[in-house]
Amino acid sequence: MTLTRRSMLSLSAGAAVGIAAGLRGSPALASADDAMAKVMEFSGGSEPSTGTVSLTAPEIAENGNTVPISVSVDSPMTEGDHVTSVAIFADGNPSPEVIVFNFSPLSGEASATTRMRLAKTQNVIAVAKTSTGAVFMDKKEVKVTIGGCGG
């Protein structure tokens, strides 16, 4: 068999299309265990307690591309006792870490609002660390609907 320039270009184009099609796929999603491992990493190995942190998220999100999330922490925000950081995790996204907010006593209050993308129905977790070493957590399940139907 003689290889011509035309057949070589055809084979190359076919190989390129095959490789490109093989590389496409859905992203691997984090599991609940992955998210909890990241929570434990953020908390420095301390088991987070419930309470003190208040996570506000919609029960049903009609659009997973822009889900509003608010978090607030009940803290005196004094030099000796204040929230140092709050992290948000989502256990069904490709990467469970979403954002970390940092605070100081000059912040006045430990609260923040953002929008995030959720790939599917999943838990959103807020974890707060304080200057005293205490760690608090709150978790909400957000149902992401697809095309107005429950998902």
pLDDT, tens only, 110-122: 999 999 999 889 9
Instruction: Kindly indicate the confidence band of residue 17, based on its pLDDT and cuts at 50, 70 and 90.
Output: low
117 and 67 Cβ atoms separated by less than 8 Å? yes
In the CATH scheme, what is the homologous superfamily, with its name and number, of domain 28-144? SoxY domain (2.60.40.2470)
Q: What is the mean pLDDT of residues 16-20?
A: 65
The domains of the chain are located at 28-144
Task: State yes or no: pLDDT of 32 exceeds 80.
Answer: yes
Give the C-alpha separation, 86 to 34, whole Å: 18
49-80 pLDDT tens trace: 998 999 999 999 988 999 999 999 999 999 99
Q: At 20, is the pLDDT very low, low, confident or very high (cuts 50, 70, 90)?
A: low
Backbone phi, psi, residue 106, to 5°: -70, -10
Does the pLDDT of residue 95 top 80, yes or no? yes
Residue-averaged pLDDT of the chain: 88
Question: In this structure, what DSSP letter does residue 78 have?
Answer: -
For residue 66, what pLDDT is reported? 93
pLDDT band (50, 70, 90) for residue 18: low
